[in-house]
Amino acid sequence: MIEIAAAIVPICRLTDTVGRWGGEEFLIICPETSCEGAMILAEKVRKAVESLPLHRYGTVTISLGVTCSKLDDDINTVIQRADKALYLAKSAGRNQVRSMQSTTHQLSLDEDAVELFRN
C-alpha cells in the first residue's frame, strides 16, 4: 500500500487531498475540478499503479470510481456514488475507471469535508 500511495500522491495537485479509505481503498478529493478533469486524473492514477515494478506481487492493478458533488449532496451521498462507480469498475473486469455522474451543478466539498479525510 505504501508503494501505491507513493505513486498516487505525485500525480495529484497540492489542492487535492489523498487518503486511505477502508482496508485497501484510497480516496482523492479534488476541489474545483470538473468531472472530466477527475476522470483524467483517475486514468493517470490507474496507469501509474499498473506500471509499478512490484516484483514480489506481480502486476498490480487498480479500479477507480469517480463522481462529482451536486448541490444537494452531503459527504455520505458523494461517497455512496463514488462507491457505486467503483463497484461498476470492478464488476466490468477491474483495472479501469468508471463514473457516476450527476445532472445538477457541481460544487467543491467544503473545508469541513476535506478536513474529515485529512484526519
For residue 105, give the CATH number of its domain.
Answer: 3.30.70.270
Q: Taking all residues of the chain, what is their mean pLDDT, rounded to a whole number?
A: 83
Per-residue pLDDT of 39-96, as tens digits, reads 999 999 999 999 988 878 778 889 999 999 888 889 899 999 999 999 999 999 889 9
Higher pLDDT, 102 or 3: 3
pLDDT at 6 over 60: yes
Count up the domains in the chain and report the number. 1
- Among the listed residues 24, 25, 36, 50, the single catalytic one is 24
Within a domain: residue 90? yes
Within a domain: residue 80? yes
Within a domain: residue 119? no
pLDDT of residue 53: 86
DSSP sequence for 10-46: GGS-TT-EEEEETTTEEEEE-TT--HHHHHHHHHHHH
Within a domain: residue 54? yes
Domain that holds residue 80: 2-114
Could you confirm whether 24 is annotated as catalytic?
A: yes
